[in-house]
Structure 1
Amino acid sequence: MGRTPAGQTRKRIYEFVRRRLLEGTPPTVREVQQAFGFRAVQTAREHLEALVREGLLAKAPGRARGYYLPPAATPVPTRLVPLVGRVQAGQLTAAIESPEGYLALRSRRPERELFALRVRGDSMSGAGILDGDIVVVRRQRTAEDGEIVVALVGDEATVKRLRRRGRRVELRPENPAFDTIVVAAEEVTILGKVIEVHRYLEHLPLIPAP
């Protein structure tokens, strides 16, 4: 019986290791040796190291079960992100409403950390956020100076760039036609940081809320 080409064997090893990793049970080198019937554990190690060099696997040094899938090789799960209302990007509007529905978006973040808002107005056009865009927001109560946030002032929400000035906060537009909102720091509640912008040219693929 002829020998299996090394490339085919390595592909089978990759599929074996990948399946185990996705199941949450990373194999040891010896388990790979036993699974493929290699006489020496070194043969299994050489195949695994070759997969690391090819970028298909990554390795944490000093760990028996140290092989893992690099981020590019790990499937990104689909999350149902609630579209919770509209945000006026030129003027303040009513605070976040009940969900209009859900968007199926790929993200590694848990669903509970995310929500989406529909933007109205052009005050953030300089940052590439246009009227009608959907912004995906990571829920958080703080933000770094210069980040784009969804901020609540009183009972109204807006999308702006955050600037801190001592005991005051500036919510700056990215369009010179609009004014900066300046308020005392205690009058502003950060609802989250804008992490993605989505633009749909035709139908918005919205999943109805129950």
Structure 2
Amino acid sequence: MLTAKQHELLCFINDRLNETGVSPSFEEMKEALDLKSKSGVHRLISALEERSFIRRLPNRARALEIVKLPDAVKARVTASAQPAPAAKPAASGKASAAVPSAANDVLEIPLHGRIAAGLPIEALESQSMLSVPAALLGPGEHYALEVSGDSMVEAGILDGDYALVRKADTARDGEIVVALVDESEATLKFFRREGSMVRLDPANRAYDPQRYKPNQIRIQGKLAGLLRRY
């Protein structure tokens, strides 16, 4: 048996998923149920999860899935459902467009400390996660680094931005990469080959290029996007 609040929350989540395809935020749940704090929402979510009514989707923020509904809720949903209109044949032999994913779908990727956009600094590892709109990420495995410095400002990369990086161990000339220098320091720069050397170019005329032997440099990823908070 569900409590009244658990039942109310389950119905609210189910209705929102049916309307938008995206589960409501904890703030929206708190307001809908007239609760004083989000901790009450957490307790209700945990109770519904323990009773196998909902499931949290891994590596996604605001992602809940309805596993089952009480009989009373299923009856209400069935009664209110309208029959779907028959699909019209596609014109000119073209297939109908696929339903796009929700614009506010969010993924969580590892946040690995700060990276220099000026002189190299030590690349710090951490266990933090960063919520990122899925639309900013393409295929592959990604992580994020907080930018420190101003040497990439002419490429639109500012101090305090979050660099979204797709893991890679090779790069082409002209690509912006995360380069690990001497296995201890990381920097965000344009990658170029110059004879027998590797050149890491800033995007700020106040800074000089950095030149290294190939065995001093290890590519750790290529810039895939930026996230900026105001």
Same fold (TM over 0.5): yes
Question: Given the alignment of the two structures, is residue 131 of structure 1 paired with residue 159 of structure 2, yes or no?
Answer: yes
Pick one of 7, 32, 57 that aligns with 2:96: 57
Provide the rounded CA distance (Å) in 1 between the counterparts of 2:130 and 2:168: 20
- Summarize the Cα distance change of 1:96–1:190 in structure 2 as closer, same or farther, 3 Å threshold: farther
Which residue in 1 is equivalent to 2:74? none
Structure 1 match to 2:35: none
Q: Runs ≥4 in structure 1, deviation > 4 angstroms?
A: 35-38, 108-112
Identity rate of aligned residues, in percent?
40
Paired residues, what number? 145
**Deviation at residue 165 of structure 1 after TM alignment:** 1.8
Match of 1:5 in 2: none
Mapped partners of 1:167, 1:138: distance in 2? 26
Distance (whole Å) between structure 1 residues aligned to residue 106 and residue 139 of structure 2: 9
Q: 1:110 to 1:145 in 2, by over 3 A?
A: closer
Deviation at 1:199? 1.0
Distance in 2 (alpha carbons) for counterparts of 1:104 and 1:52 = 40
Q: Which residue identity does 2:219 align to in structure 1?
A: I
TM-score (norm 1): 0.61
Q: Give per-residue Cα distances to partners, 1:115-170, cap 9 Å, x unaligned.
A: 10011110000000011111100011011110111100111000001111232111
Superposition deviation, residue 48 in structure 1: 3.6
Higher relative contact order (CA 8 A, sep 6+): 1
TM-score by length of 2: 0.56
Alignment-derived partner of residue 160 in structure 1: 189
In structure 1, stretches of 5+ residues that fail to align are: 1-34, 39-43, 59-68, 202-210
Answer yes or no: is 1:185 the counterpart of 2:217: no
Cα separation, partners in 2 of 1:36 and 1:126, compared to 1, 3 Å: closer
Residue identity opposite 2:212 in structure 1: V
- Shift in alpha-carbon separation, 1:176–1:37, aligned structure 2, 3 A: closer
Once residues 190 and 125 of structure 2 are traced to their aligned partners in structure 1, the CA distance between those partners, rounded to angstroms, is 22
Q: Deviations over 1:34-85 (max 9, x none)?
A: x9898xxxxx6xx2414986xx834xxxxxxxxxx27xx2346421111110
Gaps of 5+ in 2: 1-82
2:160 aligns to what SS in structure 1? Answer: coil
Where do 1:33-182 residues align within 5 Å?
47-50=88-91, 57-58=96-97, 69=98, 73-75=100-102, 77-99=105-127, 101-107=128-134, 113-154=141-182, 155-182=184-211
Q: CA RMSD in A?
A: 2.9
How far is the alpha carbon of 1:107 from its aligned partner?
2.3
Q: In 1, distance between residues paired with 2:185 and 2:93? A: 51
Q: For the residues of structure 1 that align with 2:152 and 2:134, how far apart are their CA atoms?
A: 24
Q: Is the 8 A contact 1:51 1:57 kept in 2?
A: no
